Amino acid sequence: MARWEPNARERLVEAALTLFQERGFDETAVADIAARAGLTERTFFRYFADKREVLFGGSSELEGLLVGGIAAAPSPLSPLDAVAHALEAAASFFDGRRPFAKSRQAVIAAHPALQERELIKLASLATAMAGAMRQRGTPEPAASLAAEAGMAVFKLAFARWTGDAHKRPLAQHLREALEQLKAITTGLDRVGRARPRKTERAARPRGDRSASGTG
């Protein structure tokens, strides 16, 4: 039973998410997940410490990407733009994982204890980003404010990305959310729409939405 199984990890993740959605997280046992994947429990535990790790196992990798992205951000960037740079750099982490992300969000949304765990994960990512900002020389409170504001951008962009029928990449949703935060912060747009963008980072089609607003 300990023989090598092709795509074991992917099969386990898919089985787990299917069962979490069918039966609920609490009602799903590791044995059920392994059985649905056609694998053994022992194989499951080679990849995950427990069933919760199927949902949260990627967070230390993500933290490393964010911290590394902040360290690598060009130095003339403003604090918020440095955080945004790291978020965009980390967006590749999610490329190709939209179906997983979408199912995962649905499972978490249905379960208060998982929502709490998600909040704690996001807060811990914000704390790590604030530390990375201080490392690169940004003083407090700018370091923490930029990290917190960046996390607000990330949450919005992520929610839009998982629900995007047009399947535009996460990086693009991040850029749009950042623009929207800037628009509400500068306060020139009374109704809170994104302001017109005269410059494009990579010729994004958004003119339809941004044609008015900023007085």
Work out whether 163 is an interface residue with a second copy (CB under 8 A): no
Residue with smaller CB distance to a second copy, 11 or 195: 195
Nearest distance from C-beta of residue 9 to a second copy, angstroms: 29
CB of 29 to a second copy, least distance (A): 25
Contacts with a second copy in 4-23 (CB under 8 A)?
A: none
Selected from 2, 4, 190, 202, the binder of a second copy by CB under 8 A is: 190
What is the dihedral angle through the alpha carbons of 142, 57, 73, 80, rounded to the nearest 10 degrees?
A: -30
Give the number of residues in contact with a second copy, rule: CB under 8 A. 53
DSSP string, 163-211: T-TT---HHHHHHHHHHHHHHHHHT--TT-PPPP-SS-SS----HHHHS
Q: Is 181 in the site for a second copy (CB under 8 A)?
A: yes
Examine residue 141 and say whether the peptide bond preceding it is cis (omega within 30 degrees of 0): yes
Choose between 89 and 145: whose C-beta lies nearer to a second copy: 145
DSSP string, 6-69: TTHHHHHHHHHHHHHHHH-STT--HHHHHHHHT--HHHHHHH-SSTHHHHHTTHHHHHHHHHHH
Asked whether position 88 contacts a second copy by CB under 8 A, the answer is no
**Shortest distance, CB of residue 158 to a second copy, whole angstroms?**
12
Does position 172 bind a second copy by CB under 8 A? no
Burial 106-132, CB ≥16 within 10 A → b, else e: ebbeebeebeebbeebbeebbebbbeb
SS3 call for 157: helix
Among 76, 96, 167, 205, binds a second copy (CB under 8 A): 76
Instruction: Please pick, from the candidates 8, 37, 114, 177, the single residue that binds a second copy as defined by CB under 8 A.
Output: 177
Q: Which of 50, 116, 135, 163 binds a second copy (CB under 8 A)?
A: 116
Residues of this chain that interact with a second copy (CB under 8 A) are 76-81, 116, 119-120, 123, 137-139, 141-146, 148-149, 151-153, 155-156, 160, 177, 179-193, 195, 197-199, 206, 209-210, 213-215
